[in-house]
């Protein structure tokens, strides 16, 4: 079985423009978000809302066509970049020990940024903070929150729904639901532990931005975080959430039976599993894109517009 996880939508397909931009705070770091609303939205309207984020190596800009279609269908939509990706600021760490003398809890220091690395646990925290943010939007009905995810983010929406009961529906397409391949055998396990120990002891830092470690995917994985990330194990924890899983019949990057199919089996709330015939993983962004959009709208309409 090939163990590639995946990124988001190709930038070449970007067309739609957001209504406005916004800032989401995640653990003290500013994340950039693009907001999409229906053209005739009244100032006092309260809409069902949908959060979107990219997968491995993507950006919020690559979600514009899909976000615009959802907004046109009557949703308040926010697509955001994870910390260290796209237009978002990065997490930072001190390059030297903090000075002993501080004033009001503040001090001056040199920092380095952690940028364009793939950390699914950090991404998950960003999803949770984005949910907190959208629940406070005046035009968002916080009782009708949906999540849209694709590939790596197709698993993250399951992870987030299992941890925030305000999420009422998710659409997960070609979702990667289990990253424990980094400890699946002796060689992978040794590599993961060696990397993690070196970083914990300060003899290794974070990977450089946009490093390509797995195939052509942009962004090196933080293996210690991948070792503990498996949303397929969490699907049963989100009984309040209606879960739709859309898979590619000829998925070539992982075995659907270990990912969306298993998550669907374990989900306890309303659920649906749809296999799009004849396509591979990336087909969801090309020949099957409109079909996937229609499936997402149909599912969100059913569970967020009742």
For residue range 54-93, what is the model confidence (pLDDT) as tens digits?
999 999 999 999 999 999 999 999 999 999 999 999 999 9
Lowest pLDDT segment from 13-27, 131-145, 278-292: 13-27
**pLDDT tier, 9 (very low <50, low <70, confident <90, very high otherwise):** very low
Q: Residue 115: its pLDDT value, please?
A: 98
Residue 108 lies in a domain: no
Q: Residue 128: its pLDDT value, please?
A: 98
Residue 179 lies in a domain: yes
For residue range 114-167, what is the model confidence (pLDDT) as tens digits?
999 999 999 999 999 999 999 999 999 999 999 999 999 999 999 999 999 999
Write the CB contacts of 159 (distance below 8 Å, at least 6 apart in sequence). Answer: 120, 124, 127, 229, 231, 234
Lowest pLDDT segment from 11-15, 143-147, 222-226, 264-268: 11-15
Q: What long-range pairs does 112-115 form, CB within 8 A, spacing at least 24?
A: 112/205, 113/84, 114/83, 114/84, 114/90, 114/206, 115/84, 115/85, 115/90, 115/209
Inter-residue contact 130 to 140 (CB < 8 Å)? no
In which domain, by residue range, is 214 found? 11-88+114-304
If one counts the domains in the chain, the total is 1
CATH of the domain at 179: 3.40.50.1820
Mean of the per-residue pLDDT values for the chain? 93
Q: Residue 5: its pLDDT value, please?
A: 40
Give the separation between CA 263 and CA 229, rounded to whole angstroms: 14
Residue 103 lies in a domain: no
CA-closest candidate to residue 29, choices 87, 110, 75, 79: 87
Residue 32 lies in a domain: yes
What are the backbone dihedrals phi and psi of residue 260, each rounded to the nearest 5 degrees, phi first? Answer: -65, -40
Residue 82 lies in a domain: yes
Residue 71 lies in a domain: yes
DSSP tag of 215: T
Residue 188 lies in a domain: yes
pTM score: 0.94
Residue 96 lies in a domain: no
């Amino acid at each position: 079985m090939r163990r590639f996880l995946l990124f988001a939508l190709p930038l070449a397909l970007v067309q739609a423009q957001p209504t406005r931009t916004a800032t989401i705070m995640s653990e003290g770091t500013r994340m950039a978000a693009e907001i999409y609303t229906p053209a005739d939205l009244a100032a006092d309207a309260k809409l069902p809302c949908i959060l979107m984020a990219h997968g491995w190596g993507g950006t919020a800009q690559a979600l514009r066509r899909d976000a615009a279609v959802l907004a046109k269908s009557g949703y308040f939509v926010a697509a955001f970049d994870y910390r260290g990706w796209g237009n978002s600021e990065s997490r930072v760490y001190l390059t030297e020990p903090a000075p002993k003398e501080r004033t009001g809890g503040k001090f001056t220091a040199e920092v380095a940024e952690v940028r364009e690395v793939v950390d699914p646990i950090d991404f998950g925290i960003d999803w949770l903070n984005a949910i907190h943010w959208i629940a406070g939007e005046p035009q968002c009905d916080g009782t009708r929150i949906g999540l849209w995810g694709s590939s790596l983010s197709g698993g993250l929406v399951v992870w987030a729904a299992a941890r925030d009961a305000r999420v009422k529906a998710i659409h997960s397409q070609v979702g990667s639901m289990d990253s424990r391949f980094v400890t699946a055998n002796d060689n992978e396990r040794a590599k993961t532990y060696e990397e993690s120990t070196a970083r914990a002891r300060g003899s290794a830092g974070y990977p450089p931005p946009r490093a390509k470690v797995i195939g052509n995917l942009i962004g090196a994985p933080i293996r210690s975080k991948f070792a503990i990330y498996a949303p397929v194990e969490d699907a049963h924890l989100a009984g309040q959430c209606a879960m739709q899983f859309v898979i590619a019949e000829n998925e070539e990057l992982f075995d659907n039976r270990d990912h969306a199919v298993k998550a669907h089996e374990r989900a306890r709330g309303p659920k649906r599993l749809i296999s799009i015939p004849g396509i591979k993983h990336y087909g969801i962004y090309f020949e099957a894109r409109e079909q996937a959009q229609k499936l997402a709208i149909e599912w969100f309409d059913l569970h967020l517009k009742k």
